[in-house]
Each structure stands twice: as C-alpha cells, then as structure tokens.
Structure 1
C-alpha cells in the first residue's frame, strides 16, 4: 500500500518493495533508502519471495543509495544506467 501518489519516487518505490507505508515512520524520516536501509544489516522486501529477482531503474542507480539498498533487498541483478549489467534496448520503437 502506498500513502501517496506522484512525486517522492524513492519513497513510493520503497513502499512498493517492502510493503511498509512511510506514513507509519517518524515525520523526520524523509527518505527511508538513505536514513533507514543504509543503517540496517538486513532489510526485507518482496524480492526475497522469489528464487531470482531483477530490478530495473531507467536512470542512474546511485541516487537515494539504491545500489546498496537493492543489494540489501537481495536482488540478483540491478540494471540502471552505468551498471555492469547493460540496458541494451533504450529506444522506443514506434511504427
């Protein structure tokens, strides 16, 4: 469940991956990726319910500490611009 719509992309992403609504956190926590996940040894996410999980972010993966957060979420691969896993089809194919 998400407690918002539009904007706050990293927070919406966190809520989607963990099932935890940021509305239940302290009002001083503006970004769980950088303020919460970075300090935890292990973080649960829905990706751990699968034997193999892949995450794709269409832009840079460095913002909001996504690279380390997705590692803690136990994704097998994280594709983003600049990752070692190349995004090969980035163009829209309109006829």
Structure 2
C-alpha cells in the first residue's frame, strides 16, 4: 500500500482519433505503470476494457506523454501501478 498515490503534474488531455467522428461514448480501464521518477513506463488495457483499438492507442499515447509525481511509500518514491478509467464521449448533452 502506498502512503502517497502518484499524481499527474499536469492534466492529461485525451483527444479522440481524428478519423473517428461517429457520435458515441467509449470507456475503458487502463493500468499505468509509473516509475520512481514519475515517468509512465507502460500502459496496458484492463482485460475487461472495451475501448476500440484507435481510442485505446490515443489514450495510451496521452498517458505515456504525461509526467507524474511518483507514488511514495513511507516518504520514499517507489514504482507503482494506477488504474484509470478513460472516457471518450461526443454524444449530445441533454
């Protein structure tokens, strides 16, 4: 158990693939593997994730470019795994 969870140093902006213009909502769970320096080393889709491949790749690229304050255990930076839900939604608001 971490005593301090990793925190993104800037907002992570997810941008839908440019050729995906259909009105739809896509959501999935990704696991981020963050090292002691706060760099995302790997992003994997959860087994139950149903993101279409182009959206999964867009999310993967966004998180790989992000910097985090690393997770800590008793005041020391450590490697960590964080699960995040990603949502691409361009459906009309009601």
Task: Give the TM-score normalised by structure 2.
Answer: 0.26
Higher relative contact order (CA 8 A, sep 6+): 2
Q: In proportion to residue count, which structure has more strand? A: 2
